Amino acid sequence: MAPLALARSRVADARLPVTPLASAALVVALILVSLALRARGIGGAFWIDEGLSVGISSFPFADIPGTLRLDGSPPLYYLMLHGWMAVFGTSEAATQILSLIFALAAIPVGLWAGWSLFGPRAGWFVAGLFALNPFLTAYSHEARMYSLLVLLALVAGAAFVHAFVLDHRRYAVLFAVTVALMLYTHNWTVFFLAAAGLTCLAIARRRRDRRKAVLLDGALAFGGALLVWLPWVPTLAFQARNTAAPWSNVPSLSDLSEALSSVLGGLGPTIGLLLVAGTGLSHIIRRRRDTERLELLTLAGLGLGTLLIAWSASQFSPAWALRYMAVIVGPLVLLAGVGLARAGRLGVAALALVALLWLPKGVQPDPSTTEKNVVSAVESYLGRGDVVVSTHPERLTVLDYYLPRGLTYVTSLGPVADARYMDWRDVLDRLREARASETLGPALDNLDTGKDILLVRPVTENSSNWKADWTELVRKRSTQYARLLRKDPRFVRRVVAPDGPDAATNGVRATLYTKVHD
> 471-504 pLDDT, tens per residue?
999 999 999 999 999 999 999 999 999 987 667 7
Q: Alpha-carbon distance 476 to 480, whole Å?
A: 6
Q: Which residues contact 363 (CB under 8 A, 6 or more apart)?
A: 40, 41, 44
The region, left, alpha or beta by phi > 0 then psi within -120 to 50, assigned to residue 193 is: alpha
Cα separations (Å) of 504 from 119, 378, 402, 500? Answer: 48, 19, 20, 12
State the average pLDDT over residues 87-102.
97
Query: What percent of the chain has a predicted confidence (pLDDT) above 90?
Result: 69
Contact predicate 136/332, CB 8 Å: no
The confidence score (pLDDT) of residue 15 equals: 53
Q: Which of 59, 92, 70 is nearest to 398 (CA)?
A: 92
Sign of CA pseudo-dihedral 306, 307, 308, 310: positive
Contact predicate 372/44, CB 8 Å: no
The region, left, alpha or beta by phi > 0 then psi within -120 to 50, assigned to residue 362 is: left
State the average pLDDT over residues 23-35.
93
Residue-wise pLDDT tens digits, 268-296: 888 888 888 888 888 777 765 578 889 99
Q: How many CA atoms lie within 13 A of 508 on its CB side?
A: 31
The confidence score (pLDDT) of residue 16 equals: 59
The confidence score (pLDDT) of residue 288 equals: 54
Entry pTM: 0.93
Other C-beta atoms within 10 Å of 309: how many? Answer: 18
- 387-390/452-458 β-pairing: parallel
Please state which of the ranges 83-87, 113-117, 207-211, 337-341 shows the lowest mean pLDDT.
Answer: 207-211
DSSP class per residue in 326-341: HHHHHHHHHHHHHHHH
Choose between 60 and 20: higher pLDDT.
60
Whether the pLDDT of residue 72 is over 50: the answer is yes
Range list of H helices, 286-395: 291-314, 326-341, 345-358, 371-378
